A and B are shown apart, each in its own frame.
Chain A
Amino acid sequence: MKFSIKVTLKKDVLDPQGKVVEQTLQNMGMNTLKSLRQGKYFEIEINENNESKAKNKIEDMCKKLLVNLIIEDFEISKI
Chain B
Amino acid sequence: MNSSIIVFPGSNCDRDIAVALKKFQFKNTMVWHKDVTLPKSDLIIVPGGFSYGDYLRSGAIAAKSNILNEVIKKANDGCLVLGICNGFQILTETGLLKGVLLRNKNLKFLGKDVYVKAVNINNKFCNKYKQDQVLRFNIAHNEGNYFTNSDHLKELEDKNLIPFKYCDKKGNINEENNPNGSLNNIAGIFNDKKNILGMMPHPERMVDQTISGDDGINLFTSLLN
Task: Enumerate chain A interface residues (CB-CB to B < 8 A).
Answer: 13-14, 16-17, 20, 65-66, 68, 70-71
State how many residues of chain B have any CB contact under 8 Å with chain A: 19
**Which of B93, B98, B106 contacts A16 (CB under 8 A)?**
B106
CB B109 to nearest CB in A, in angstroms, measures 13
Give the chain A neighbours of B154 by CB distance below 8 A. Answer: none
Number of A-B residue pairs, CB cutoff 8 Å, is: 32
Give the chain B neighbours of A20 by CB distance below 8 A. Answer: 107
CB B99 to nearest CB in A, in angstroms, measures 7
Which chain A residue lies CB-closest to B95? Answer: A70
A63, B98: Cα distance in complex, Å: 16
Q: Would you list 8 pairs from A and B whose C-beta atoms are within 8 A, ordered by A residue?
A: A14-B105, A20-B107, A68-B60, A70-B98, A70-B147, A70-B148, A71-B100, A71-B102
A66, B106: Cα distance in complex, Å: 25
A17 touches B107 (CB 8 A): yes
A65 touches B102 (CB 8 A): no
A71, B105: Cα distance in complex, Å: 15
Give the chain B neighbours of A70 by CB distance below 8 A. Answer: 98-100, 147-149
B56 touches A66 (CB 8 A): yes
A15, B72: Cα distance in complex, Å: 30
Give the chain B neighbours of A13 by CB distance below 8 A. Answer: 102, 147
Give the chain A neighbours of B104 by CB distance below 8 A. Answer: 16
A71 touches B147 (CB 8 A): yes
B106 touches A68 (CB 8 A): no
In the complex, whether B64 has a CB less than 8 A from a CB of chain A is: yes
Give the chain B neighbours of A71 by CB distance below 8 A. Answer: 100, 102, 147
